[in-house]
Amino acid sequence: MSEMEYHKGKLKRVDLTEYDNSVSKFFESLCRKMHPSNSESDWEEDLNFYKRQGSDDPWVTMWFEDTSEYDKYILIGDTVWESEDTELDSEGSIITKVNDNEFEYYAAFYNGGTYLGEELEYLLKSQLQKN
Q: How far apart are CA 90 and CA 93, in angstroms?
A: 10
pLDDT by 10s per residue, the chain, length 131: 678 788 888 999 999 999 999 999 999 999 999 899 999 999 999 999 999 999 999 999 999 888 877 788 999 989 999 998 877 666 667 888 899 899 998 888 888 888 888 888 988 888 888 76
End-to-end CA distance of the chain: 38
Q: How far apart are CA 53 and CA 9, in angstroms?
A: 34
DSSP-derived 3-state class of residue 9: strand
> What's the domain count of the chain?
1
Output the pLDDT for position 115. Answer: 86
Question: What is the residue range of 122's domain?
Answer: 4-130
| 33-46 residues labelled b (16+ CB within 10 A) or e (exposed) | eeeeeeeeeebeeb
User: Phi and psi of 69, rounded to 5°?
Assistant: -100, 30
CB 92 within 8 A of CB 45: no
